A and B are shown apart, each in its own frame.
Chain A
């Protein structure tokens, strides 16, 4: 039984990886001639790794005290703040960058403050700006992932540790962190590895060239598919190394079964926790507030087509949610490290342009590109969100199985009943979070569709792009706001459903 499950999972994982690698093969096949990487490519590789590494370390490093503070304290608005943690991750890149600039830019709040104090101005452009933006995007995600770890420590263990006067950190928190942190690090490292627009817009110049930009240049301006395929392979290689390293560090923590209640750990310094939560809230909410203000001014000049576009975007998002859950829930429950590992890492390291170009080459002659546009968008978004969903669902699934599989087997529960009574209720919070994240990511993605021009309705991000291209900056900000509200609304609905009546 178990062996078969692992085999099925290996098959699923391999299928996901194949979906990502097949387009690469199609691109490589269309290419001619071997070639070496140039000095500039190596420089791009170095910068890509370095910025992704720094972004991951800062995002996760800062997330640990914040998540711990949120796990230990309750205060009015805590639930809302935890929901808002989903928001930055789902902002369209340009919207987020403009929001960040309102605070940290040349004419932003920070520099106005510095000037008032007679201090020299702060320039955001450069490696530190890239890392800052990536932390803005990914810190909240890291907080949510690590917070889930804290909440998974059963209340019974905390009480036991207290009554035995055992060091709480060493026996409970450290094993949990060792399980959760490496995965979060790799996830964010890979997200930043394929970053394109953030890195270049805030990078300040060609020093900040990432691999993804080199791939753009190779495909679009030089039509050198061989080079694009080589660079995409390098991206996969980096991803394999990162995933391998994380696999070596991570150790599953097993606390045994509890009654499914979590308890505030208590202890620690209230002041420190308050400062951690406060700083993070300010760092996230100021740019978000700027996005809302900018967008509100554009609401009066919204084009009539915005609602039709919103409908298209929501449809794509819900389709992606359904596909992700249908793949990720079984994969999380089946276990098997290799299959899961494939699905966790490979899609993240994919270049969206190579995916798009490869899909185009594969589907050429089979179907009109315009007809395939929505389908391709949905599949691409499913692939992109799958690693996040698996990362969120797997720990909960493992725990549910470790704790109840023997009991369920002893009771001879049929598989569907097992799913319904045992697994899904214990994974509900994670399913809600994963579904919300998928929906929001799919809403904001422009990704792989550059060669699949859809006829008829544009998605919201595309509509925004068109308005910007026609100088209509205000209207674009308005569409951006609609996009943000809808993305966050979808995220919140799913996330809220998952959290049910729990106050966590």
Chain B
């Protein structure tokens, strides 16, 4: 905390020094928890301002979906130079708006999958996973969960990105049988929360055995509270990934600066801030690897990810299928 404050004030002093020379401003649209004092925002801002002779201006909205909606409402008149915080389930919608420009970078990233998206670059990732407690039920697949009487809390795919990720996970793993899987899971699902934090809160209250979250979620409890009681359950069908990305706006008035930021995003200065503020894996693994608590985390054998176009094409029908199966 204090370190962040020191970095931020160092950044302030540096920017104050050059503010007279009409500093260019780089406007980054991102989600709320990225910019908050507990997120990566403050460290990223300080590190980039130290090398760009510019001012980084974060504009926050609730989540990736809200960011994209805001951009679309602004049309081509947005102040945004960079949009940071979509995941691959939403990038096809973003590309379809025509508001984004290609990044022109061939990135060298450490993801379980190859990265060839011409418009967006990844900055962090994790696997979706069901989190349970030590000694609690630990089904090894969606089918096993459906056959057990373990209770689970999930998020709504119509109002949250993890909820949408789970929908795509079941679709990617089961295809046409997804509807049946959901119907079988109906009696295990305690409730569907509007967002991640409500679901996580209910789980911590003991409202269910399992909750939908990330394979990296237990790292927070290990690193911050030295609490080793949470487990991400390995599922035999594999785990769907959330890859969080950033892209440059075609209408940016600082295209060179935006390009510079996207390159900076994949350097250690940005990447080292990610693990213990965003609790995700960095897109580029730092030299010394990750801290102590990260070694015990779940390492799925199979990583699932639909291409952005597939995810976009499937979304509406998958939501209907999910709703109908759970409304019986």
Contact = CB atoms under 8 A, between A and B. Distances in A.
Interface of A: 30, 40, 43, 94, 97-98, 101-102, 105-107, 123, 125, 196-197, 200-207, 209, 213-214, 216-217, 219-223, 303, 305, 357, 360-361, 364-365, 368-370, 450-451, 453, 458, 462, 465-473
Interface stretch (B9-17, B46-54, B68-76, B258-266): B68-76
Contacts of A360: 70, 73
Interface stretch (B122-130, B134-142, B156-164, B231-239): B156-164
Contacts of A303: 37
B202 A201 contact: yes
A98 B279 contact: no
A204 B220 CA distance: 28
A164 B169 CA distance: 75
Interface residues on B, range: 35 or more
B193 interface: yes
Given A101-B205, A106-B207, A204-B191, A94 B69 contact: no
A450 B73 contact: no
A217 B205 contact: no
A450 B61 CA distance: 6
A105 B39 contact: no
24 contacts: A43-B327, A94-B201, A101-B205, A106-B190, A196-B194, A200-B192, A200-B193, A201-B191, A204-B189, A204-B190, A206-B326, A214-B158, A217-B158, A220-B66, A220-B159, A223-B69, A305-B37, A466-B32, A466-B36, A469-B39, A470-B277, A471-B224, A473-B200, A473-B201
Contact of A361 (B73, B201, B315): B73
A128 B323 CA distance: 20
Contacts of A453: 32, 59-61
B74 A364 contact: yes
B182 to A, nearest CB: 10
Contacts of A102: 205
Contacts of A209: 323
A303 B61 CA distance: 21
A35 to B, nearest CB: 14
B307 interface: no
Contacts of B60: 453
A465 B38 CA distance: 12
B181 interface: no
B6 to A, nearest CB: 14
Given A43-B327, A200-B192, A220-B66, 8 more contacts: A94-B197, A102-B205, A201-B191, A216-B158, A221-B315, A222-B316, A305-B37, A451-B61
A410 to B, nearest CB: 58
B250 interface: no
Nearest to B79: A368
Contacts of A458: 36
B282 to A, nearest CB: 17
B323 A364 contact: no
Contacts of B73: 30, 357, 360-361, 364, 451
A223 B158 contact: no
Contact of A205 (B36, B62, B189, B220): B189
B186 interface: yes
B198 interface: yes
A214 B320 CA distance: 12
Contacts of A223: 68-69, 72, 93
A220 B161 CA distance: 11
A101 B322 CA distance: 26
A226 B63 CA distance: 22
Interface of B: 32-33, 36-39, 59-63, 65-66, 68-70, 72-74, 77, 79, 93, 151, 156, 158-159, 164, 186, 189-194, 196-198, 200-202, 204-208, 217, 220-221, 224, 277, 279, 315-316, 320, 322-323, 326-327
Pairs A-B, 10 closest by C-beta atoms: A469-B33, A107-B206, A468-B197, A470-B38, A217-B158, A466-B36, A220-B65, A453-B60, A206-B323, A471-B220
B66 A98 contact: no
A43 B323 CA distance: 11
A205 B323 CA distance: 8
Interface-central residue, B63, B66, B220, by most chain A CB under 10 Å: B66
Contacts of B37: 303, 305, 466
Contact of B59 (A207, A370, A466): A370
A207 B327 contact: yes
Contacts of B69: 219-220, 223, 357, 451
A232 to B, nearest CB: 15
B51 to A, nearest CB: 23
Contact of A105 (B61, B193, B206): B206
Contact of A201 (B62, B72, B193, B327): B193
Nearest to A93: B198
Contacts of A203: 191-192
Contacts of A43: 327
A452 to B, nearest CB: 9
B17 to A, nearest CB: 22
A361 B164 CA distance: 27
B192 A204 contact: yes
A467 B224 CA distance: 14
Contacts of B207: 101, 105-107
A465 B200 CA distance: 12
A465 B193 contact: no
A428 to B, nearest CB: 40
A205 B201 contact: no
Interface-central residue, B37, B197, B315, by most chain A CB under 10 Å: B197
A357 B70 CA distance: 8
A23 to B, nearest CB: 12
A479 to B, nearest CB: 12
Contacts of B65: 220-221
A206 B182 CA distance: 12
Nearest to B221: A471
A223 B38 CA distance: 30
Contacts of B32: 453, 462, 465-466, 469
Contacts of B72: 223
B151 to A, nearest CB: 8
A453 B71 CA distance: 13
A451 B36 contact: no
Given A30-B73, A43-B327, A213 B158 contact: yes
Interface-central residue, B189, B193, B208, B322, by most chain A CB under 10 Å: B193
Nearest to A202: B191
A221 B316 CA distance: 10
Contact of B38 (A200, A217, A467): A467
B166 to A, nearest CB: 13
Nearest to A205: B326
A201 B189 contact: no
Contacts of B320: 40
Interface-central residue, A201, A209, A370, A462, by most chain B CB under 10 Å: A201
A207 B206 CA distance: 23
Contacts of B59: 369-370, 453
Contacts of A197: 194, 198
A469 B73 CA distance: 26
A473 to B, nearest CB: 6
A458 B205 CA distance: 26
A200 B201 CA distance: 15
B38 A205 contact: no
A196 B158 CA distance: 12
